[in-house]
Amino acid sequence: MGVGRPVKRVGAAVLGGVLVVVGVVLLVLPGPGLLLVLAGLVVLASEFPALKKFVEPVRKRAMKAAEDSVSSPLRIAGSVVAGLALIAAGVVWGLVKSLPFGGWSAGSSLILSGLILFALLIWSYRRVQARREDRVR
């Protein structure tokens, strides 16, 4: 009966910690680093209330970065090119086994990063458009 709470706490700590670490790594690699850091903090804060004070500043920064990514046609074009490059690199990595870490495990993660980039780009664009429409009204 008393085992469920500690298991949930450990699970949240592991999941949140992994999301934060992967997010920090993706801050310098292609991927949605800040959003993963935010997701990790939200998971950790659900079990460790002392971390709640970090969620809002990271959320604001992540939302600002998302909006900045679609602030001009040049940035949108750059993001599209980056997404296509990630997907193309993933296909190449999947097919050419002689590359470092060659194979579909590395290739599929690159393809997934490109698809996530496109999903976040679309989400950011819609969010910015909705805010602009609200300001006009």
For 69, list phi and psi in degrees, rounded to 5.
Answer: -65, -20
The answer to whether the beta carbons of residues 27 and 34 sit under 8 Å apart is yes
What is the torsion angle, in degrees rounded to the nearest 10, for the CA atoms of residue 16, residue 62, residue 123 and residue 26? -60
Looking at residue 75, its pLDDT comes to 84
Q: Is the pTM of this model over 0.85?
A: no
Question: For residues 111 and 122, what is the distance between their CA atoms, to the nearest angstrom?
Answer: 17
Looking at residue 43, its pLDDT comes to 93
What is the residue-level pLDDT of the chain in tens, covering all 137 positions? 456 778 888 888 898 888 888 888 877 765 667 888 898 999 999 999 999 999 999 999 888 887 777 888 888 888 889 889 999 999 999 999 898 888 998 899 889 888 888 888 888 888 888 887 887 77
DSSP letters for 49-117: GGGHHHHHHHHHHHHHHHHHTTSSHHHHHHHHHHHHHHHHHHHHHHH-TTSTT-SHHHHHHHHHHHHHH
